[in-house]
Structure formats: C-alpha cells, structure tokens
Structure 1
C-alpha cells in the first residue's frame, strides 16, 4: 500500500459522532410560582433578588456550546439545599456530571456564606441612656428584641434564645468517635441563637457531636461579648444544659411557689429556638444528612443559615413553617454550673413576677370594690 492509499483510507474512516447536548428546560417557564417554591424553597421574585446579590461572584462555568450561567448555578445549589439528594441524581436531572454539581454547590455556598456578617449579627450595645431594667426598652437596639420576646409569654429582657442542634456529617473513619453524639450518630454540634422573629443572631458550626452544649457556649461569640461587656442588661434563655449566669437564664428544676411557676414562662419563650431549628431543617432538607466533604459541609451550614435570614427579610415564608415544629424535646442532663450573679438575677425576675401579680391583684380588688359601691 503506497502512501496515497494509506492517507485516502484514513480519511474514509468514520469520525466519532459528536455528542448532542439536549436543551435544558427552564424552571421559570416549566413551573408556576407555587411549584417553583416547592422545589427551590423560595419564590421566583425572591430568587431574582438573591441572584442580583450574588451574580457578580459567580463566574460562568465552561466556554463551549452550553456554559452554566450564574443563574443556573444558583438553581442547582438551591435544589440541593432543598432536597439533600445525591449529587449524581441531581446531575442526571440537569445534564451535568457529579463532580460539576459538587463544585457548583461549594462555589455557590462559599459566595452566600460571605454575607454572614451582613445577615447574622449579634445585637450590639448602644451608649444611649438606660431605663428601668425590667421594662421593654432596655437600650437601643435591644428594644425591639425585648419587646418581641415579651409578647410571647411576658418574659422581660430577653436578647435571644440559645440551643444546640446536631447535624449529620461525613468525617474520616478515625474521627468517628470524636463526632459520635449520645444517639450514636456522627454529627456536628451547632450552637444557634435566634431572636423573636426566628432569625439567626449567632451560629457556631464547628464542634464535634460529642461536645456538650455548655462547652460549645464557652467558646462562642455571645459568651465573650456578654462576659466582657457589663453594659448588657439583657439575657439569653437556655435549657438546663447551660449554666445559670447573669446573661444566661435557665429554667427552675422544681418550681414550688406561684411566682416560680410564672417564671417558668421561660420554657414557653425558649421553645421558640426549637421551633426555629425544626423549621430551618424542614425548609433546607439537606441539613438532615450532609453527605459532603466535611469542609464543604461547614460552608453549606453557614450558607443555609444566611439564606434563612435572607428569606425572613424578604418575607418569603413556606406554608409548612407555620406549624409548631419542635426539633428536640428529649430530656437533657442538667449542667451543675452557674454563678451567684446568675442565681441572683433569676431571683430578681421571680420577685418581679411576684410584685407584678400582686399589683394586678390589688388593682382588680379596687375596681371590684368601686363597682360594688356604685
């Protein structure tokens, strides 16, 4: 075979068929607003607001026939947050590979988590003049927080409600025992603090599941702020897992007097944190089991917390969040810690409830006697 025939036969070989990329369906066209919200956990209007916020930080992936735009990247990440499904399944549905989905989830989560300081803010102390320490207006900007919590059960001076929640994560086998919680699950113990609107004002997501809630609190931003700044007159509410301190009040283990029973309104007020955690995990189902790299899981947790506050600011609520969802009602072993200042403040509030009830009783008797005289 001469050179001419060899080249001729080489050209006659069939070239591999070019891969055909099917057009991807547009969720904004396929779904109405109700179905879109069910799948991506926010309305179309809110999505556009979020996209305008983050689009400059999301570069277009690929430079071939079908690049992944910033809008599509955000949709992919939101779909993962909403379902927590395997990434290979998500890739099959939208025509992308699992590694691409993984990179997109990490990239979008990192961009959203950058806004943490903007959306998750612990209330600062103002230099303005103080008022009666058991009134609804302590010091601005704590006024709105206090007035909001007092409307729940009449408990005064509350800055926020604190609790810990466990999120299943994936870690190396040699680290399993460090992350194994009391339910024998491999988890991350995340400390959360909510205000009266169910918004995060603090999130600490970096402690292994074996760590006790009180230990997590001792190495958190609220602890350092409230411990060092005595100008805070308000307090957090926690369960019996936390020590009773001047800035962190816990429920009574065995209330006996009427005033102490009224003080147990603490429990009804603090239950807001359990409802908030339950609603948060219900809206972003990926939090029930994060099957990601550990480093990616940490970023995703912060990202969905930022999204939660963003959605509250946009007044974009889900219908199922209106239900009384309680995340954790099991009994927790009580902490023996506490300070004399904490016990003193708790007694002051019990006395406050006692005096308030006495004044109401006297007023009622005065009105009754006035009516009888008429």
Structure 2
C-alpha cells in the first residue's frame, strides 16, 4: 500500500442536531446524536502488473477503496484515499480511527455506516439479516422494530451515496472506468482536490440538484484491545436497540 494522506474538511462537533434530522419526525429524536454517514467508494487506478492483484477487488480492473465521511448536507468531512481495492471497509475504518490524525467522532455521537462496517458506539450499521435497501420496502412496510430501524437508517445513510454520486458526476476524472494516465499518488491528490471543490460548490449552491448515489493500523491487537473492542461493540448494540425500540413504539402509536 502506498503512503496514505487523509484530509479533514468541515469537522462536525456534534453541538447541534443536523437540520436534516431535526426537521424530520422520522429521524428526530431517534438519530439526534448522529453527525453524518460514512462509506467507501472504488475508483480506478493505474498500478504495475505486480501490484494489480492487490487492487483488483470488487471490480474487474484495479481500483482503490476511498473512505469518506459526510454530513447530511452532502459535504465531505473526512477523506482517506489510497487503500487497495481488496482492502475491506472495516479494515480501512479501523486504520482511519488509529492514525496520527484520525477520523474523530465527537464524544457521545456516531456515524451511520452500511453492513460492511463493525458495530461500535461511534459507528452504527444496520441490523444484519433484516431487509435494508429502500426498494425492499416500497410495497411492504416494516414488520418489526429492526426492519423499521433499517428502513430509516437506509434513508438517512443514503447521504454518503448521494455525495459520492454528486462528486463523480461533477468530476468525471475520478469516475471514468478507463485506466488513468497517472499513478495512485497523483490520483489521491486529484481526489482530495475534487472533494474540496465539491464542498465549496455545495456551500455556494446548496440547492443544486444531485443524482442518485453510486456504489463502499493495528492489525494484531492485544488482548486488552479485544476486550475494549468487545465492550465498545456492546455499547453500540445497546444504543442501536434503544433507538429501534423507541421509534417502533412511536410508529405503532
């Protein structure tokens, strides 16, 4: 893996409830402590034949897996490009949380993530084994509190997919399926520049139409780390169950 370079953009401090949540009774007060959504997207890269197998993940061609977090007004707050296409989302996120300049999650707050990420007090994925994608609920409303949670989770987490879709529509240079003429290091700089420009444009014209979304370093933890991770997962599970139970009670009322 090449040297990674992350950027911080508009860091959420969690002091205010996002208006996209506060003004929607489906999300407020259940997700009042949510500061954004997080996911990865694959972007085609040019690498040597020797490195190609490491970058050939979900696509037929080499890609890098770019981790990003965004707020619900579709502005990126953290971007970490450079990981090989074969790297899992959870592995990349774990690295992002442990870097010298890590992805910071405000105390008592959390990001929404898809099912490819670990459950933590600051990272809340949907319930596995339950319906999740929005089209699965188009004709069949939720039947349990877990399904209701997954439905509203998907509706809110969709912000990161829309942000990626918007980014790639604005900047075809990172959306092309054609092999680029430059290497990964240059491409990383291009990705970061595009995210900065995207945020600027969102700030100047927040009402601009956007498309539907596209496509998302301690590798040997000690025993103490595992205990901490287990406890953090339990806190995340309690938080998710509490949210699900609360919205299900109100939904039936």
TM-score range normalised by the length of the shorter chain = 0.7 to 0.9
Distance 1:349 1:316, change over 3 A: closer
SS of the residue corresponding to residue 36 of structure 2 reads strand
Shift of 1:219: 0.8
Partner of 1:271: 158
How many angstroms apart in 1 are the aligned matches of 2:240 and 2:38?
A: 17
Gaps of 5+ in 2: 131-141, 217-229
Matched, 1:352 2:240: no
- Partner of 2:133 in structure 1? none
- Answer with 1 or 2: which has the greater Rg: 1
- The match for 2:202 among 312, 320, 339 is 312
Structure 2 equivalent of residue 64 of structure 1: none
2:85 pairs with 1:201: no
Q: Does 1:148 align with 2:20?
A: yes
Aligned pair 1:237/2:115, yes or no? no
1:296 aligns with 2:186: yes
3-state SS of paired residue (1:174) = coil
SS in structure 2 opposite 1:189?
Answer: strand
Paired residues of 2:36 and 2:70 also in contact (CA < 8 A): yes
Q: Tell me the equivalent position of 1:262.
A: 148
Change (3 A) 1:188 1:307: same
TM-score normalised to the size of structure 2? 0.75
For residues 57-92 of structure 1, give each alpha carbon's deviation from its aligned partner in whole angstroms, at most 9, with x where no partner exists.
xxxxxxxxxxxxxxxxxxxxxxxxxxxxxxxxxxxx
1:216–1:183 distance in 2 versus 1, CA, 3 Å? same
Distance change (3 Å), C-alpha of 1:194 and 1:215: same
Compute the displacement of 1:294 (Å). 2.3
Distance 1:261 1:284 in 2: 36
Residue segments in structure 1 that go unaligned for 5+ positions in a row? 1-112, 125-138, 330-336, 362-374
The residue number in structure 2 matching 1:322 is: 210
Pick the aligned partner of 2:63 from 187, 201, 218.
187
Question: Is the Cα–Cα contact under 8 Å of residues 55 and 84 in structure 2 kept in the other structure?
Answer: yes
**Please, which of 12, 22, 26 is the counterpart of residue 123 of structure 1?**
12
Q: Which has the higher contact order (CA 8 A, sep 6+)?
A: 2
Contact 2:41 2:164 in 1 (8 A): yes
Counterpart in the other structure of 1:246: 121
**Helix, strand or coil for the counterpart of 2:66?**
strand
Given that residues 163 and 192 in structure 1 are in contact (C-alpha distance below 8 angstroms), is that contact kept between their aligned partners in structure 2?
yes
Aligned residues: 214
Query: 1:1-374 residue pairs with structure 2 within 5 A?
Result: 117=8, 120-124=9-13, 140=15, 143-145=16-18, 147-151=19-23, 153-154=26-27, 155-156=30-31, 157-221=33-97, 224=102, 232-255=107-130, 258-264=144-150, 265-289=152-176, 290-315=180-205, 321-323=209-211, 325-328=212-215, 339-357=233-251, 361=253
Query: Does the 8 Å contact 1:199/1:309 carry over to 2?
Result: yes
Q: Distance in 2 between matches of 1:237 and 1:222?
A: 19
In 2, the alpha carbon distance for the partners of 1:233 and 1:245 equals 12
Cα-Cα RMSD: 2.8
- State the alpha-carbon separation in 1 of the partners of residues 110 and 98 from structure 2: 10
